[in-house]
Amino acid sequence: MKQPVRIAVTGAAGNISYSLLFKIAAGEMLGPDQPVILQLVEIPQAMDKLRGVAMELEDCAFPLVHGISLHDNPFDGFRGIHYAMLVGARPRSKGMERADLLEANAVIFAEQGKALNEVANRDVKALVVGNPANTNCLILSRNAPNLAPSQFCAMTRLDHNRALGILGNKLGVNPSDIDGVCVWGNHSPTMYPDLHHAQVLGDEAAIDMIDEKWYKDEYTPRIQKRGAEIIEWRGLSSAASAAQAALDHMHDWALGSDGRVVSMGIISDGSYGVAKGIYYSFPVLCEFGSYQIIQNLHINDYGQAMMKKTEQELLEEKAAVDHLLPKETAASREELGTSSRSGQTEFDAGIDTGESYYKADRIC
């Protein structure tokens, strides 16, 4: 029997978590042989609701769940964790300006970064789901100087899965018959769903099977604005699909993507000319608990313009929260190099080997 791993979930009483927690507990994220301890984190006002969710988890009698603890602050909730699913965030309230939203979330993620830095297991993997996910992830990482920037990701897997699902539907194939789809940039309506490298059933180029006008004028905006479309029809924002995407992201990061291309919001090392130091969605392959950016893809003029636009938005978001980014972590995040030979991204280690390191019997 493997040792249990500790997984923190923030926003644990919210909509996404109401799907996510039960999937994690059932073993869908880390496998049916991996016991888990769930450390659930909420704001103080939501602790009663969280207790109700925890009762339901208990009532499922999941054999893999070896413990559930409830916390109203990240310094307790992140103690010893191996995985952080950061779902909780401040939603946009009526009349709130975009800059105010960025700043309100910056405060939350700065504190959570400090908590991860101080109390999490040294090899923790942290996934930011709460929006604005990429910039929240930047703030998180910059506030955790003793952890490597590659230990943090922003979730763009929902956009990736949407891109696969909607394309599969159009072509009349199963989404699993398509590989090489990727989403570049920000998790926002500027993201660029790129089909130029996608293959169907292993040998046919997806881009040759669709009409260019459909791709640019219907498909792309549909992926970019899918969240709003769901709200329009369902009356609520995407929750189950976001939970599935978070699960897929962490599963592949920890256990490997099995040779399939996936999209992850990761620290830019300058690949494809993207500004270093921002969290930008790239196509990656995952293996042995880490990811590699796929290098040397040919990007046409249309793609370059799309990639620049979403990069520009991320740089603007970064500028808006710049005063909250600790200066001492700028260099370690912005001076990453790309390896010319393997295409593998190199990161500074950033891990202090002197600190406690609880290595459970698990793959990553």
Positions marked active-site: 187
d(CA 32, CA 23): 11
Closest to ligand NAD by CB, 13 vs 200, is 13
137, 154 Cβ separation under 8 angstroms: yes
Among 207, 209, 230, 239, binds ligand NAD (CB under 6 A): 239
Query: Taking contact as CB under 6 A, which single stretch among the options 26-34, 38-46, 250-258, 317-325 is the one that binds ligand NAD?
Result: 38-46
d(CA 108, CA 325): 13
The two structure tokens encoding residue 39? 């450390």
179, containing H or E segment: strand 178-179
Residue 24 exposed, middle or buried by CB count within 10 Å (0-12, 13-18, 19+): buried
Residue 186 phi, psi (nearest 5): -90, 150
Query: Taking contact as CB under 6 A, which single stretch among the options 53-61, 124-132, 178-186, 296-304 is the one that binds ligand NAD?
Result: 124-132
Angle at the Cα of 132 from the Cα atoms of 126 and 136, rounded to 5 degrees:
40
Does 162 show up as a binding residue in the annotation?
yes
Query: Taking contact as CB under 6 A, which single stretch among the options 5-13, 113-121, 269-277, 348-356 is the one that binds ligand NAD?
Result: 5-13
Does 299 show up as a binding residue in the annotation?
no
357, 147 Cβ separation under 8 angstroms: no
Query: Taking contact as CB under 6 A, which single stretch among the options 6-14, 118-126, 172-180, 208-216 is the one that binds ligand NAD?
Result: 6-14
Provide the residue type at 229 as one letter. E
Does 16 show up as a binding residue in the annotation?
yes
Task: Kindly list the distances between the CA atom of residue 224 and the CA atoms of 127, 311, 364, in Å, as whole numbers in the listed order.
Answer: 21, 15, 33
307, 272 Cβ separation under 8 angstroms: yes
Q: Map tokens 């993507």 to a residue.
A: 257
* Contact pattern for ligand NAD over residues 179 through 218, marking x by CB under 6 A: --------x-------------------------------
147, 332 Cβ separation under 8 angstroms: no
Among 161, 238, 244, 263, binds ligand NAD (CB under 6 A): 238
CB of 207 to ligand NAD, least distance (A): 25
Q: Which of residues 130-149 bind ligand NAD (CB under 6 A)?
A: 130-131, 133
Does 174 show up as a binding residue in the annotation?
no
Does 112 show up as a binding residue in the annotation?
yes
CB of 69 to ligand NAD, least distance (A): 14
Pick out the residues of the known binding site for substrate. Answer: 92, 98, 131, 162
Binding site for ligand NAD (CB under 6 A): 10-11, 13-17, 41-43, 46, 87-91, 108, 129-131, 133, 155, 158, 187, 237-239, 242
